[in-house]
């Protein structure tokens, strides 16, 4: 069985042999594009080539890109852990043509790589092609359909709508029709019940999209209109972890060697078992996923904070802490202990992890401790609220106070109340939330502070938390 390192290498080599330059992953954290907070696809770093604002040295490139899909147009956060094939942070393998080859070669090579190099059984692959969108005057992608027809039986080519087969980077930016390759890895028995074609794009955990071939032809402008790009480009993205799942004969990304070392470590540390109880499995997947996202973000210089991109990272980590706290009974910091295993698994290809190891561990540990204190405090407060209550319904404003002033997560409040036979006035809570959106953030709120890392010390130094008043300390982190 091919391990994930070999799988990644083979992809890059395949396109290198076809005159593509192997380029490095861009940072996952984006600092200079107001339309995007985090890299959400391999093409982001090439945006200016597509738009015709810059000319690449080489018209063909290939890479594996660290992506994070937790905000904006591509946001998978709520899915992560619940399903087995969406991650927050994942690697996207890609090949690009900047005004060079187009649909025919992109399709031919994708098929060659999957079926001849990786030797995936042709019969488990399905293709989707853009059906067109009248409202925007976009025609069906007949060219792609015809190229596919030469290599795949038509019964396995499916037309897809704008949502699935017209790829857009964000509300603005390069876009175009796409052809996607989906894989059906169900058991023969399951396959006999429903044809794979019926399950494509239906959120079936074993009929999943693995590769998207985008034919970049348009730019979505700020006013929502489409303009033709000066040239035609190819932009492909294949989910690395999903590819590993297929090639390693697994039913879940989390059963591949990308994740199993971390999962084993979680089992050991938390004294739990993966694969026995769904609730526990979800928690383990959430933690295994989120520790990657947070570690890579920190390695890229994005520390948790109270605003912007840093707040997104803090929320991801807190989601992991909360799942550990609630379902794995982890009342003390433990996620930071997983970083070593993660680094062992990934450092060859992503040396930045190793380089920033200490800061990653320190920051995660401190964030955990701080949030666990919040949780402990909140539990006491919630107990008091419950104790003083007579009608078994907790008002929205009380729950909101816990949430807003003490940072206690509302879903945890709901869970605890439910366990104790109490009800939460969710409507009241939502109303309070709405009201708050219209207010500016209270200046005196007790919150966890932002990070500051000394930049003039040759040894990275951990400064620690400012747990009292909020306001903002600069989060830029630089290591000398």
**Options 196, 237, 378, 407; binder of ligand ATP; rule CB under 6 A:** 237
**Residue 241 in contact with ligand ATP, rule: CB under 6 A:** yes
If the CB atoms of residues 293 and 385 are measured against ligand ATP, the closer one turns out to be 293
Around Cβ 272, how many Cβ atoms within 10 Å?
19
If the CB atoms of residues 47 and 69 are measured against ligand ATP, the closer one turns out to be 69
If the CB atoms of residues 238 and 399 are measured against ligand ATP, the closer one turns out to be 238
**Residue 40 in contact with Mg ion, rule: CB under 5 A:** no
Chain residue at closest Cβ approach to Mg ion: 212
Chain residue at closest Cβ approach to ligand ATP: 239
Within 199-228, the residues that bind Mg ion by CB under 5 A are 209, 212
**Residue 238 in contact with ligand ATP, rule: CB under 6 A:** yes
Near ligand ATP by CB under 6 A, which window of 11-19, 203-211, 343-351, 352-360? 203-211
If the CB atoms of residues 42 and 449 are measured against ligand ATP, the closer one turns out to be 42
Within 39-58, the residues that bind ligand ATP by CB under 6 A are 41
Q: Which residues contact 392 (CB under 8 A, 6 or more apart)?
A: 421, 422, 423
If the CB atoms of residues 209 and 432 are measured against Mg ion, the closer one turns out to be 209
The answer to whether the CB of 23 falls within 8 A of the CB of 62 is yes
* Token pair 């996620």: residue: 335
**Residue 96 in contact with ligand ATP, rule: CB under 6 A:** no
**Residue 209 in contact with ligand ATP, rule: CB under 6 A:** yes
**Residue 88 in contact with Mg ion, rule: CB under 5 A:** no
Minimum separation from the CB atom of position 201 to ligand ATP (A): 7
Minimum separation from the CB atom of position 353 to ligand ATP (A): 19
**Options 25, 59, 62, 212; binder of ligand ATP; rule CB under 6 A:** 212
Compute the distance between CA of residue 197 and CA of residue 210 in angstroms, rounded to an integer.
15
**Residue 242 in contact with ligand ATP, rule: CB under 6 A:** yes
Applying CB under 5 A, the residues found at the interface with Mg ion are 209, 212
Applying CB under 6 A, the residues found at the interface with ligand ATP are 41, 69, 76, 86-87, 90, 92, 167, 209-212, 237-239, 241-242
């Amino acid at each position: 069985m091919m391990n994930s390192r070999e799988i990644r290498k083979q992809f890059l080599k395949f396109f290198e042999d076809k005159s593509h330059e192997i380029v490095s992953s861009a940072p996952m954290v984006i600092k200079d594009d107001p339309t995007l907070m985090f890299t959400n696809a391999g093409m982001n770093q090439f945006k200016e080539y597509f738009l015709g604002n810059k000319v690449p040295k080489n018209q063909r490139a290939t890479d594996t890109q660290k992506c994070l899909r937790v905000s904006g147009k591509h946001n998978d956060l709520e899915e992560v852990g619940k399903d087995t094939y969406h991650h927050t942070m994942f690697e996207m393998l890609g090949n690009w043509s900047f005004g060079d080859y187009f649909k025919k070669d992109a399709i031919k090579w994708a098929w060659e790589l999957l079926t001849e190099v990786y030797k995936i059984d042709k019969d488990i692959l399905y293709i989707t092609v853009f059906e067109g969108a009248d409202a925007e005057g976009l025609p069906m992608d007949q060219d792609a359909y015809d190229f596919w027809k030469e290599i795949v039986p038509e019964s396995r080519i499916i037309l897809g709508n704008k949502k699935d087969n017209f790829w857009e980077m964000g509300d603005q930016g390069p876009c175009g029709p796409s052809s996607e390759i989906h894989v059906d890895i169900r058991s023969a028995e399951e396959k006999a019940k429903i044809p794979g074609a019926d399950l494509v794009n239906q959120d079936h955990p074993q009929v999943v999209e693995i590769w998207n071939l985008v034919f970049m032809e348009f730019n979505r402008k700020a006013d929502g209109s489409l303009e033709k790009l000066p040239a035609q480009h190819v932009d492909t993205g294949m989910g690395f972890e999903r590819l590993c799942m297929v090639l390693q004969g697994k039913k879940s990304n989390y059963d591949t060697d990308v994740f199993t070392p971390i999962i084993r470590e979680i089992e050991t540390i938390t004294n739990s078992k993966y694969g026995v109880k769904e609730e526990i499995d979800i928690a383990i997947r959430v933690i295994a996923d989120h520790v990657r996202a947070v570690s890579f973000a920190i390695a890229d210089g994005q520390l948790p904070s109270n605003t912007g991109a840093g707040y997104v990272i803090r929320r991801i980590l807190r989601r992991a802490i909360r799942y550990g706290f609630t379902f794995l009974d982890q009342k003390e910091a433990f996620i930071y202990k997983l970083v070593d295993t993660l680094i062992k698994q990934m450092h060859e290809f992503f040396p930045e992890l190793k380089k920033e190891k200490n800061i990653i561990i320190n920051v995660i540990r401190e964030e955990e401790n701080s949030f666990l204190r919040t949780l402990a405090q909140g539990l006491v407060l919630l107990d008091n609220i419950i104790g003083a209550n007579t009608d078994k319904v907790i008002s929205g404003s009380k729950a909101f106070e816990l949430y807003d002033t003490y940072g206690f997560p509302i879903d945890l409040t709901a869970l605890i109340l439910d366990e104790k036979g109490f009800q939460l006035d969710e409507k009241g809570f939502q109303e309070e939330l709405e009201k708050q959106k219209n207010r500016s953030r209270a200046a005196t709120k007790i919150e966890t502070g932002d990070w500051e890392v000394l930049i003039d010390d040759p040894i990275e130094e951990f400064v620690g938390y400012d747990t009292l008043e909020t306001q903002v300390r600069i989060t830029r982190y630089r290591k000398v």
